[in-house]
Amino acid sequence: MTSDIYFAPGYHGATSVQAGKISPAIYEDGYYTPYPIKFAGLLLMTASSRSYDADAPTFPVAIPCTDGGRPDGFAFTPTKDTTMYGNQSLLAAADIYLPLVADRTGGDSTYAEDYMKFPVTTCHPFIPGRVIGVPVAASTSIAFGAEIASAASGYAETATTGDVVIGKAEYAADNSAGAAGAINVWVKVGHQYTKA
């Protein structure tokens, strides 16, 4: 079985699938994303590029995980603009994240509809036994040992029935009075399962 050769983020560049062969490690492999990824550790899932731009060639894109969804990994890097325009010299200036607001749907803050404007982020796979920091959802308190799942937009929350559990909280995290991503929770990654 042959596959197309891609030289874009998120692809191995292999020309054929061979039985018994292990793909190269892609721990920090980049994926295009139509969304601004503001926090490292945000839970991500993959989707088709054509879900965001019908004229795009078909390739996987990283998007924030849905509420209770099954994440494919987590953002190793945010999509912060590191050009001279993105590196604000004023201490009080806000960070700029790609895609720029003007490039997003209708000029609001959702996602970009033109695949040529998709920035690159990394989607690090989960490795059972590792501990990762995941940004906590707004107005959320997580107890020590709680099963962790994705809230809307890829933030961490305590798992409820039907959620996909990614691991357990190594420490308590109280973000009950904070905005989404104001603090992180340490999560010991396990094998994913759906909470009964």
State mean pLDDT over 164-181: 96
pLDDT above 90: residue 167: yes
- Comparing 8-17, 27-36, 141-150, 186-195, which segment has the lowest mean pLDDT? 8-17
- pLDDT for res 170: 95
- pLDDT for res 123: 87
Q: Output the CA torsion 117→93→42→116 (10° steps).
A: 0
Among 124, 154, 183, identify where a domain stops.
Answer: 124
> Residue 183 is part of which domain span?
131-194
Residue with tokens 């973000």: 175
Residue 90 lies in a domain: yes
State mean pLDDT over 15-31: 57
140 and 188 fall within a common domain: yes
State mean pLDDT over 134-143: 97
If one counts the domains in the chain, the total is: 2
46 and 111 fall within a common domain: yes
Supply the pTM of this predicted model.
Answer: 0.83
Residue-wise pLDDT tens digits, 173-193: 999 999 999 999 999 999 999
Residue 158 lies in a domain: yes
Residue 173 lies in a domain: yes
Residues 104, 10: Cα–Cα separation, whole Å: 22
Residues 159, 32: Cα–Cα separation, whole Å: 28
Count CB-CB contacts under 10 A for residue 163: 21
3-state SS assignment for residue 190? strand
